[in-house]
Structure 1
């Protein structure tokens, strides 16, 4: 019997009508002799609403309490979908992350999946056609509920597919992977296939299509991912190993990250102890930083990096703790910038891509303040007002 993992995002399960339509679709899949694990997100803007309600109670919520609250969003969805399926006489069982045996490590709101009890899922499949699993959540060794961070339902789905060694289908409100956000550049091309590494790079650099860790998991376990629009006949995109790509372009996409901030740190002494303490605290807080640059001269140290705007509160708390030991520390956080990245696995084999990007931005009068490169990408920090303009011009330049 064929087995698949399907994931439906929050917009796909935003109301009862959509949930009923998905239930009918899943029934047809079961009648075609399939067993399914269905991973769901919270309905619509439920998570945002829960966070907003917390702000009315406290400005410094406890992470354990917050994780407990946020998991309730997905638990509503699994219950509603199971009710709809059983009303159609489909054997379905809703499972929280705890009930599905999704064990995690790390901080309560930024956990990573360490293991999944597949023997439990296999046992349940003996009596059920569909297992409906709450995405975004799990439990740690202390038995406490944890969450996987934004986009964590993608990671849940791919992790289960990896554990069961079956394909993963992710359904959302877009028809596949585009060269860039069609809302920014309506002429953006949709790809039939894209490589794992290109998709990882696009996700990490701001393309909000898939969560980065989910693609990394798929790559590590060689699990193909299909990304398509919920209940649509339009063809979606397969995310596959690079050697399975039939057509390879030098540049695949342009990612625009508006949810980043830029920090500049100055300290008058050439203090290696300060750098050591800074990066230890960043690691302990699990704050991801990018585009790091450092200047050290007779005037002291200047360090710059970018980070996600959503982590600004944690970063400010980190700097406050550092200032108790380094009172001459100066920190400036700038939130009016954005990051534009050009991505393509073909960059490895083709010269002139970076110079073409520099030339395009300069000729378009778009200043940039920091540049970083990887083997398959080039990223620029630009003024927020120029982000969409740069994205459109670069897409035109590379015929995307």
Structure 2
């Protein structure tokens, strides 16, 4: 079989018929050079936002199964339009929903995870068709229900398809690559020609919105060559790869700002440590992804603080409601006025004093932090939301990124 490549185009890239036509022409050029293509697409433009706005006119707490059924419409519209366009210009193409492509999922509706992909079916389809246009962001569960993969789900779909076919993956969007931080926050941010899987994983998990964490994790686990570039641009993008292949390891590679976090504090008087176990069991049961955690026990009161994504608010509330049946005397506060600022770099492993420089930079500029957490290659601070952009600017200047 000819070389197979998986390409993914984001919502802004396919927001109009004109853009779909332009992308289809570029795909035809690649097919004529001997490639077989799997093209993963998102919903056009603001389609998903429009669908959610319609739901919000009905309820703030929709049934998640029905929400998945609704949201899948967006990607299905795009795949049909692109397949129609490709066939019209002489490229033998077929559109596939997540179910038709054999993308099996498990877990909660609206945030499912990929369990398996029917790669044999896809290979057989590529024998007959030059381009398969696959709906990103969706799959199906053991009950044959439509499921969606949550934020960045189309990226995850694309990399999972590439892993199943042992193919490279190219992700195209409206940015020219991975930058050291968001150029909208720090205009002098530098574009990275290369970044390691582990650094990109940290940056994604800590709030950099360029790539979703799960897609980078799959790329790392299956060693999928991953490229991020701007749609239909000649400008060179960014390759994400094994750290051993990097030409240079920086002390600090990038900085991330996550404005969509909740800072949760729980107090339980006269509770045993079983309270902590039960709390995190409930959070796990409802799929709430926890980040920073701190615990203080004083005067027989257990105080637990943690952060989670604002998008998990409904699941968080349900977790705490369930917990309150066993612990009716819990005091709880949920602060949505916080953000998380992080610096990431594989060079941190071998260089001392990075944390001291970061603390000193924030403190001398009067920026206070609520919590701090570290890994081998990252340091994160929970700050007041109003301080987030200035903290990013100061850290980028301090570490020359």
TM-score interval, smaller chain = over 0.9
User: What residue in structure 2 maps to residue 255 of structure 1?
Assistant: 256
User: What residue in structure 1 maps to residue 82 of structure 2?
Assistant: 81
Spell out, residue by residue over 1:142-162, the C-alpha distance to the aligned partner (whole angstroms, 9 max, x if none). Answer: 111111111000010000100
TM-superposed CA distance for 1:126, in Å, is 1.2
The answer to whether the aligner puts 1:97 opposite 2:98 as a matched pair is yes
- Mapped to 1, the partners of 2:319 and 2:224 lie a distance apart of 38
- Mapped to 1, the partners of 2:311 and 2:165 lie a distance apart of 33
User: What residue in structure 2 maps to residue 63 of structure 1?
Assistant: 64
User: What residue in structure 1 maps to residue 8 of structure 2?
Assistant: 7
The answer to whether the aligner puts 1:162 opposite 2:157 as a matched pair is no
Equivalent runs, 1:101-250 vs 2, <5 Å: 101-250=102-251
- Mapped to 1, the partners of 2:98 and 2:376 lie a distance apart of 36
- Mapped to 1, the partners of 2:258 and 2:41 lie a distance apart of 25
User: What residue in structure 2 maps to residue 20 of structure 1?
Assistant: 21
RMSD, matched Cα = 0.9
Gaps in structure 1 of 5+ consecutive residues: none
The answer to whether the aligner puts 1:372 opposite 2:363 as a matched pair is no
TM-superposed CA distance for 1:310, in Å, is 1.2
Question: What TM-score, normalized to structure 1?
Answer: 0.99
TM-superposed CA distance for 1:327, in Å, is 1.7
- Mapped to 2, the partners of 1:394 and 1:56 lie a distance apart of 42
- Contact residue 251 and residue 342 of structure 1 kept, 8 A: yes
TM-superposed CA distance for 1:299, in Å, is 3.5
- Contact residue 8 and residue 172 of structure 2 kept, 8 A: yes
Question: What TM-score, normalized to structure 2?
Answer: 0.98
TM-superposed CA distance for 1:278, in Å, is 1.2
- Mapped to 1, the partners of 2:80 and 2:31 lie a distance apart of 19
TM-superposed CA distance for 1:333, in Å, is 0.6
TM-superposed CA distance for 1:109, in Å, is 1.3
- Contact residue 270 and residue 296 of structure 1 kept, 8 A: no
- Contact residue 47 and residue 70 of structure 1 kept, 8 A: yes
TM-superposed CA distance for 1:239, in Å, is 0.1
User: What residue in structure 2 maps to residue 29 of structure 1?
Assistant: 30
How many residue pairs end up in the alignment? 400
TM-superposed CA distance for 1:392, in Å, is 0.6
* Secondary structure of the structure 2 residue equivalent to 1:38: strand
Spell out, residue by residue over 1:163-210, the C-alpha distance to the aligned partner (whole angstroms, 9 max, x if none). Answer: 100100000000000000000001000010000000000000000000
- Mapped to 2, the partners of 1:214 and 1:13 lie a distance apart of 20
* Secondary structure of the structure 2 residue equivalent to 1:73: helix
* Secondary structure of the structure 2 residue equivalent to 1:126: helix
TM-superposed CA distance for 1:82, in Å, is 0.6
User: What residue in structure 2 maps to residue 353 of structure 1?
Assistant: 354
TM-superposed CA distance for 1:318, in Å, is 2.0
* Secondary structure of the structure 1 residue equivalent to 2:294: strand
* Secondary structure of the structure 2 residue equivalent to 1:81: helix
* Secondary structure of the structure 2 residue equivalent to 1:13: coil
- Contact residue 294 and residue 301 of structure 1 kept, 8 A: yes
Gaps in structure 2 of 5+ consecutive residues: none
User: What residue in structure 2 maps to residue 339 of structure 1?
Assistant: 340
- Mapped to 2, the partners of 1:79 and 1:184 lie a distance apart of 37
Structure 1 moving runs of 4+ over 6 Å: none
- Mapped to 2, the partners of 1:314 and 1:33 lie a distance apart of 47
TM-superposed CA distance for 1:141, in Å, is 1.2
* Secondary structure of the structure 2 residue equivalent to 1:12: coil
- Mapped to 1, the partners of 2:128 and 2:338 lie a distance apart of 53
- Mapped to 1, the partners of 2:240 and 2:345 lie a distance apart of 14
TM-superposed CA distance for 1:60, in Å, is 2.3
Spell out, residue by residue over 1:285-328, the C-alpha distance to the aligned partner (whole angstroms, 9 max, x if none). Answer: 00001110001122410000001111112212222222232121
